[in-house]
Amino acid sequence: MRSARSLATSHSPLATRSLAPFRRALLAWFRAHRRDLPWRRSRDPYRIWVAEVMLQQTRIAAVLPYYHRFLKKFSSVERLARAREAEVLRAWSGLGYYSRAKNLRRAAGEIVARHEGQFPPSLEAALALPGIGRYTAAAVLSIAYDAPLAVLDGNVARVLARLGAIRGDLRAPRRWRQLEEIARRLLARRAPGDWNQALMELGETVCAPQVPRCAECPVQRWCRAYARNLTFKIPAPRRKRDAIHVRIAAAILRDPRGRTLLVRDPGAHDGVLFSRMWQFPAVEVTRQPELELAAHLRATLALNGAAPLKLQPLPAARHGVTFRNITLLPFLARVARLPKRPRTRILPLARLRDVPVSSATRKIAAAASTPDNYCA
């Protein structure tokens, strides 16, 4: 396997004597072409940290409205630390991967309690915070404090692999360590924040996974993959886990006052689907969704009235979680009275936005919001 030092040999386009012009070219490109993103308008470590957490496995376009709303509500680390978990989850609702929000709040509490309300400037202290890994710590510390720490995420790894014509699975532990060493060696220590953002920006906008725009690349002449016509072969495609198809039937119970029932009792299927937040009563089904859902409601909510429960099918919805392809099958059930059980909550269907729910729950609720079904 090619070592990181192979990028620095006299025959390499990134030999030691080439590093200075390479760095200048990339930094000049970034400063001229970088996108105007809200977290780049400040060096406040709190705002940078919130952005980095939100951007984990989430596209920038999806993050932007959440970022603005979240910071409007929790404008400082102190406000976030004082907030109730349900309040934070409600602000995060729909963004997914809710453990990020829980860890963000927990870390805010530790920052206030142990670091006088300031994101700690040392790598060791940052890594001790809940939910902070090597990448997030390096990103926040380099951008906010000019700490000479190199970042490595999927975008940066792809850029480095193409620069060095490094083939194979980039996520393999040995190869990832090799890329970490390369990232450390290439780091522009006089401008680590801009350097890390430049590599990330290059990977997101130019050195893309499927359609790299090599003609626009500011460091094309240093790229081994381009020189060897290997750009489309690096990185090697990762073997994807076979998709699992799941069907979830959910009941939107509604009383004459337009109220509905939410539960908070995760089953085997909903640790990732509903993120252990408030949800409609739901169960994974196979061949007879209506009958299986009715049985689930009788068993969990004791819905055993004199008249059998009538479940009205609503439009199905698609939902994806990692390797799961999920079909959501909502049913509307009008009931004279909603059951009162432990770990349940009754509220108007129109006020679902007032509680923390997952995007899957939002999709289920949307099926009942048509003129024929909705009742305020």
Tallying the residues shown for the chain, one arrives at: 376
Contacts of residue 371, Cβ cutoff 8 Å, sequence gap at least 6: none
Is 68 exposed, middle or buried, given 0-12, 13-18 or 19+ CB atoms closer than 10 A? exposed
Label residue 311 left, alpha or beta by phi (over 0 means left) and psi (-120 to 50 means alpha): beta
For residues 340 and 261, the answer to whether their CB atoms sit within 8 Å is: no
The structure tokens 């470590």 sit at 45
Label residue 356 left, alpha or beta by phi (over 0 means left) and psi (-120 to 50 means alpha): beta
Q: Quote the tokens at residue 338.
A: 């909603």
CB count in 10 Å sphere of residue 149:
24
The reply to whether 290 belongs to the active site is no
For residues 63 and 55, the answer to whether their CB atoms sit within 8 Å is: yes
Q: Which of 52, 87, 116, 124 is catalytic?
A: 52
**What are the distances in angstroms from CA 145 to CA 46, 128, 141, 182?**
12, 18, 5, 22
**Residues annotated as catalytic (active site), given as ranges:** 52
